[in-house]
Amino acid sequence: MSILVCGSMAYDNIMVFEDRFKNHILPEQIHILNVSFLVPELRRDFGGCAGNIAYNLRLLGSEPLIVATVGDDAGEYRQRLDGLGLNQEYVCHVPGTFTAQAFITTDADDNQITAFHPGAMLFSHQNDVRAARGGRARLAIVAPDGREGMLRHAEGLAEIAVPFMFDPGQALPILSGDELLHCLGLARYCTVNDYEARLMCDKTGQCLESLAAKVEAFVVTLGSKGSRIYAGGDSIEVPAVSPAALVDPTGCGDAYRAGLLHGIEQGWDWLSCGRLASVMGALKISHRGGQNHRPGRAEIEAAFQSAFGSKAIASKLVYS
């Protein structure tokens, strides 16, 4: 039994601007915007929402199955998946395309400007999640991907009765209000950040409370203020975990989602799921890139105990 992780696989090209965007972008001049940022630091990391979420699930001992599309340049990424012991059965090669590429510039305040080439991601609908019917999967997430792929994955998972988390994220601009409501109606859970929650309300014409009532749990991350989980008519406040260092926010949301999914898989209550998610996000943010943190069991347990003064939940972590 596995967790299906539907979403993008991408190469992240990370550039660090050692100043603040606000010092160089003049609000009154944005209609003629023409700026250049000197980025002395450049690196290429493995990323994409599906890749990042699956990586973190593997750290936690879950058995994720990535459902994604890649291009002709995916050889290096495939070798990495092999090294991590991640199943590639549903990683589909689309000839004549590049694997999705993100070009991310981060400033001194951790603000980000991103340019994204979708490449093979636009063909994500070629993967049919219904192939996992017959009890192969117990849980899934539909994370940012090609528009048609996200819609088909949501419908396919509903058809084979696999409960899933809807994570519209960066795909919110390409999904209409009706499409968002359609996916939300098929999902069991939803997770967004605070900005995405506001955008989702604007696009659907519904308030947050109304959206939250459509699923078993609606999770809103609030950055350094923690997160809020709307479930069972309650609003559960989950504090943020203080990281060892604030290095790079890239992939923190994906690490958080992996913590949620692992907790759901283990049958935990929502507060416990949120706490583990916060721990995973904090462990990630102290490392550069979406997949360069490598906490072992002892480190995750120590971080959980330090943050919440309890081993009770940490001791439930399952590792392969």
Residues 221, 153: Cα–Cα separation, whole Å: 24
pLDDT, residue 109, reads 87
CB-based contacts of 171, cutoff 8 Å, min separation 6: 144, 145, 147, 150
The sign one gets for the Cα dihedral 17, 19, 22, 24 is negative
Q: What is the pLDDT of residue 53?
A: 98
* Percentage helix, strand, coil for the chain under 3-state DSSP, each rounded to 5: 40, 20, 35
Task: Write down the pTM of the prediction.
Answer: 0.91
Separation between Cα atoms, residue 137 and residue 112, nearest integer Å: 35
- The per-residue pLDDT for 312 is 59
Q: Which residues are part of the catalytic machinery?
A: 254
What separation in angstroms does the CA of 137 have from each of 4, 48, 51, 56, 149? 6, 21, 18, 18, 18
Q: Give the helix ranges, DSSP H, for the chain.
A: 49-59, 75-84, 147-159, 177-186, 194-204, 208-212, 252-266, 270-285, 297-308
Note the pLDDT of residue 232. 93
Q: Residue 21: what residue type? A: F
pLDDT at position 320 is 44
**Count of alpha carbons within 13 Å of 152, Cβ hemisphere only?**
18
**Cα separation, 239 vs 242, whole angstroms:** 9
pLDDT tens string, the chain, 320 residues long: the values are 699 999 999 998 988 899 999 998 888 878 888 888 999 988 899 999 999 999 999 999 999 999 999 999 999 999 999 999 999 999 999 999 999 998 989 898 878 888 889 999 999 999 999 988 877 899 999 999 999 999 999 999 999 999 999 999 999 999 999 999 999 999 999 999 999 999 999 999 999 999 999 999 999 999 999 999 999 999 999 999 999 999 888 899 999 999 999 999 999 999 999 999 999 999 999 998 899 999 988 899 999 999 998 765 666 776 54
